Each structure stands twice: as C-alpha cells, then as structure tokens.
Chains A and B, each alone.
Chain A
Amino acid sequence: MNAIVSTVKLHLNKRAATFAVPLYIAGMVAVISVLISLVFWRSGSLPGTAGWIQGSQSNPGIVYALVGFLVYLGVASVATTFPFALTLGATRRAFVTGALIWDVITSAYIAIIFAVLNAIEMATHHWIAGFYIFDIYVLGAGDYGRLVTIVFLGVLSCLTIGGVFAAAWVRFGARGPQAIGVVIILVILTALIFLVPSAAAIAANFQLWWLAVAAVIAVVLSSVGTWLLLRPAIVR
C-alpha cells in the first residue's frame, strides 16, 4: 500500500502540469472564445439573441483545446515516469495502480473546476456580456450532472488512452503504439461495416449514456492494457 501511495505522490510531483496547466488552457480558450464572440458582435450579431446563443453554445473549443494536452499528460505519466519509478524502487503493480489513482484524481479535479467555472458563468449571466465558454452543448448546456459526468469520463478516457499508448511504446518501441492504432482502426471499420445499414435507426434511438458506457469500456481496456504491457516491460 505504501508503494502505491508513493507512486501517486510521484505522479502528483509535477503539480503545475496536473493542477495549473488545465487552468491555463481553459483560460486561454476562454479568452479566444471571447475574442471570436467580439468579432461576431462587431459584424452585427447581438448578444442575447437566439442566433447568438445557438452559435455560442455550439462552440466546443474548450474541449478540443484540452484533449491534446490530456492525452499528452497520459502519455507522459507512463512513458517517462515509469523508468524513473522503477529506479526509485516502485513495483510495476504499484506504478500502474498509482497511475490509475492519479488519473482519477486529475479527472475529478478538472470536472470540479469546470463545474465551478460553469457556475460562475451562469451566475454572471455568461460573464456579463453573453459569452458562452462552459455552458455549451457538448458539456451538457448548463446541466451540472451531465457536465461533471462528461468532463470526468472524458478526461479519464484521455489520460488512460494516452497511458496505454505510452505503455505500448515502453514495451515494444515505436511498433507498439502503431499496432494499437491499427487494431483500433480495424475494430472501428469492422463495427461500421456491420452498423452502417442501421445508422438511421441507431441515431434515432441514441442515448447519451451510451457514450458513458463507451468511455468506461475505454478506461477499463486501457488500464488493463497498460498493466499487461508494463508487467513484462524492461527499462534499457
């Protein structure tokens, strides 16, 4: 147990990357979104109108901006931290468990931060000037339950998927991530071959919880994959 706690501390050792950088990115995207809104404002669109709200809530910039960083964070949490963890005396079992706990902590932190920022946005009537940064469709359009679930599972998926790609790299070098990429593409294409004829019916019956189930499956598969890849991995 001590080794797992120590490994969680190891992952939390770079506090800025875990706690500050997501805030920087969110802040930067907020500024860019505001500037884009100002462009629309100057071109004649009026804050508060139906078209303005529709257009603003359809902007998923905050999500796109964070996904790349979060996948990198997941990769770094394994690729460069694993060799150092072994040097410090961590077991592979403790490392993988500690990494997963850190993934959960980071996901919960970002979900809470987004919920707080969304609350501020709502309370200030969208930053006084009608700017929509967090109250957007892709994050649940103001529904806190959906926002927290979407952000938590989304961040957790990004981190663990990044982790399994890094574990494949540690185990097999460049061929590892390539093999995972090929397998994922084959699975998606095979699924599409079978499902495309029913696409209209699936779309008509689509439920949001399907995405949650898909995220949970991705997290479980990535975590198990990380363990299976790192257990026999050696550092050279």
Chain B
Amino acid sequence: MTNVIEIGSLTRSFGRTKALDDVTLAVPEGSICGLLGRNGAGKTTIMSIVSGQDRPTSGRVEVFGQSPFENESVLSRISFVRDNQRYPDNYRLHHVLRIAPDFAPNWNEEVAAELVEGFRIPEKTDIKKLSRGQLSSVGIVLGLASRAPLTLLDEPYLGLDVTGRALFHSMLLRDYAAHPRTIVLSTHLIEESEALFDRVVIVDRGRIRVDCERDEVSELAFTITGSTDAVERLSAGHPVLKSHSVAGLKSVTVQGAIADDIRAEARSLGAQMAPASLQEIVAAFGEEPPESPALDIKVKKGARA
C-alpha cells in the first residue's frame, strides 16, 4: 500500500525545547489515522510540518512522495485546519465559502451547505465573534468540503455540542465512503472518535509511543485491579504505564497483551484483568514519568514504511 505521509527521524526544536524527537511515521493512503496524545505532545507540530506550514530541524518529511514545504502541487492536495485557526479581520462565513474553492480543486458546495445548515453557523456574524463551537464548525466545513486527498483535522471538535459532533462523524464517514481520502485526526474525545480510526498513533513528549492498526489496540496494554499485594505481584517484571492506589486497592495499566499464565494467576489471587481501552492507553502514556522503564516504543506490524 502506498504511504501518503512518510516521516523519517524527524526532529523539531524550538530553542532548547524539542517539540518532536526522532519521529518516524508512515500513514497509508486511504486510512483514517487518529493522532492522539496530551496537550503539547507534538500532534499539531507533526501536522504543521506535514502541511508545509513548518519545517523540521532535521529529518525527512515526504507527502505524496515530495517535500511539502513551498511545494504548490503538494499543498493543493492538503487541507489542514488548526484548532486555533485564524481568519482575516472582519471575515464572515460567506468570505470563507467564497475563497475556499479557489484553493481546493475538489471543493463540494453541497457538502459545505449541508454542514453550514447542520451546524447552524451564523452567516451575518464576524467569525471572530463566533463561539468556540461555531468556530470549530467553520473549520470542519473547510476541512470536509475541500475533499482534499490529505485532510488534517486538528482537534475539530473543540467546543462542539453533542449534536454537532454526531453530524461531524456521520458526514465524515459518509463523504469518506463516497470519496475516499487520507485523514489524520487529532482529538482528546477518544471514546467518541475511536470507531472512525483504522490506524492509531500516540504521541507523548514529542516521541511516537504507539503506531498500530486499530484492531491491534487491544493487545497494547491491559489493566489489573485488585488488592495492592495481588496487583503488585501480578505486575512485577512487567512495564507498568500507570498506577493508582486507594485504601488497600490498586489498579495498574501494564504494557503488552494479557498472557494466559497471568490471567490464571489473577483469577487465583482475586484480581481482575481486562484489555485497556484506547482512552486508558493514551492516558497511561500521558502519565508515564520520563524516567519510566516502560519507555519502549510500541510499533506494530505494518506501521512503518
């Protein structure tokens, strides 16, 4: 399968701060990739570099087989709407809808109109005066109606109400089915979005921690809950991503798949085990201290170019 995005040993530093540290990543054509991680993990920086809005300090970035920076033929095939997207002074919705088709060859008026109506975006209010959710709606209109072969959506849900989020999901899936493209979506609403993804990438402290197909997520980590003694005994020797204790009880998130021997031992000790949800895995990687022994990057089959 062709990769639309190929990133190799990418580092991006801002002064002494490393926003991205030796990132290697590939996103196959036609996939919907969830880019997950805490605030400041490096998600927006990855998208920014992929869309040619920023340049790496070192490393290689190729989109559609070419460097995206100042590359007109590549940029015309990318749509990247930021979570804090800025618009020109005194812009209203009609300004956006009038100019966007000039830059997006695949722009679809019907999709734009349906989203504008569904989100109830005010047409006579300056975009700067829109609520956070309405502002996100404008970004979603730009992102989906452009039908760009590579669509990058950075926290598209911010402030969006539950009806709006449902509309976004249904429109995304419907339009993706009719016009397949590669979508990278960053979000903190993991449980709501999980079903959209066929790939998952977890970023923390500028490093790729997980890069796998969604079906493989259940093998990434598991939780053990029970008495402190039992949990410590069961988790001994395993990379613990997250730990939480309260009143003699303990819960840990352990990296890896549940082995049969541990499952049997847990049963005998009265502890409960279950595969960690994607949200628990993202939260666990986000809580992990920098000096943690469980720092191995989990890369599953087919994830790298």
Contact = CB atoms under 8 A, between A and B. Distances in A.
A216 interface: no
A13 B95 contact: yes
Contact of B87 (A80, A89, A91): A80
A3 B72 contact: yes
B110 interface: no
Contact of A83 (B70, B86, B103): B86
Contacts of A83: 85-86
A87 B99 contact: no
DSSP majority for the B interface? Answer: loop
A88 B70 contact: no
Interface string A1-30: 011001001100110010000000000000
B188 interface: no
A89 to B, nearest CB: 4
A94 interface: yes
Contacts of A188: none
A14 B85 contact: no
Nearest to A16: B90
A13 B98 contact: yes
Contacts, number: 77
A149 interface: no
Q: Which of A80, A94, A232 has the most CB of B within 10 A?
A: A80
Contacts of B76: 3, 89
B215 interface: no
B100 interface: yes
Contacts of A14: 88-91, 95
A87 B81 contact: yes
A81 interface: yes
Interface string B67-108: 000111001101111100111111100010011101110000
Contacts of B51: 86
B219 interface: no
A158 interface: no
B54 interface: yes
Contacts of A125: none
A32 interface: no
Interface in B4-57: 48, 51-55
B: interface residue count bin:
20 to 34
A234 B53 contact: yes
Contact of B75 (A17, A89, A235): A89
Contacts of A9: 99, 102
A17 to B, nearest CB: 7
A24 B54 CA distance: 40
Contacts of B85: 83-84, 87
Given A91-B75, A92-B70, A76 B53 contact: no
A90 interface: yes
A89 B79 contact: yes
Contacts of A3: 72, 76, 103
Contacts of A175: none
Nearest to A235: B53
Contact of B78 (A13, A89, A93): A89
Query: In the complex, which of the residues A76, A86, A232 has the most CB atoms of chain B within 10 Å of its own CB atom?
Result: A86
Contacts of A92: 70
B78 A84 contact: no
A9 B95 CA distance: 11
A235 B48 contact: yes
Contacts of B116: none
B142 interface: yes
B70 A6 contact: no
B112 to A, nearest CB: 14
Contacts of B95: 13-14
16 contacts: A3-B72, A6-B102, A9-B102, A10-B102, A13-B95, A86-B52, A87-B80, A87-B81, A88-B102, A89-B75, A89-B78, A90-B75, A90-B103, A94-B72, A232-B55, A234-B55
Given A10-B103, A14-B90, A17-B89, 14 more contacts: A3-B72, A3-B76, A13-B98, A80-B89, A84-B86, A86-B51, A87-B85, A91-B52, A91-B75, A94-B72, A232-B55, A234-B54, A234-B55, A235-B82
Interface of A: 2-3, 6, 9-10, 13-14, 17, 76, 80-81, 83-84, 86-94, 232, 234-236
